[in-house]
Amino acid sequence: MTDTTPAVLFVCVHNAGRSQMAAGYLRALAGDRIDVFSAGSEPGDAVNPAAVAVMAEEGIDLSTATPQILTTDAVRQADVVITMGCGDACPIFPGKRYEDWQLDDPAGQPVEVVRGIRDDVRRRVEALIATLV
């Protein structure tokens, strides 16, 4: 992260669905204008295959993404922290911008449902970009 490039951290419990889709969209739509990170309070073993599939439909490859553990350093580096159902697991630092996105968990959902979650994530990411660049 540079002093002029904002950094965004997406956090959900398993870092396997919502946060991965949001990070994928932000990287694809903002390019190098925003530094993008994602993590989970209890990371899963792999990214949700349905999330990988619906993002591939959008031309975004999550097939090599791996869930990461949420660290205090990751939060410290971020200018904006977006939480998605991780409760109180995210450390709070003064001066950071926090948003909690209420999104359904795609875990165990059919692809048709995950597409709707993906589309909601995209709308939110597009609105976020407008506030950062």
Output the DSSP codes for 89-100: GS---TT-EEEE
47 is catalytic: no
86 is catalytic: yes
Q: Which of 90, 103, 117, 125 is catalytic?
A: 90
Find out whether 121 and 102 touch, Cβ atoms under 8 Å.
Answer: no
Other CB atoms within a 10 A radius of the CB of residue 109 amount to: 17
Q: Which of 86, 103, 125, 128 is catalytic?
A: 86
Q: Which helix (H) or strand (E) holds 11?
A: strand 7-12
Return the structure tokens found at 41.
Answer: 């309070």
Q: Which of 8, 9, 11, 12 is catalytic?
A: 12
Instruction: Using CA atoms of 28, 33, 35, 36 in order, give the dihedral in degrees to the nearest 10.
Output: -20
Q: Cα dihedral sign for 13, 14, 18, 24? A: positive
12 is catalytic: yes
Catalytic site residues? 12, 86, 90
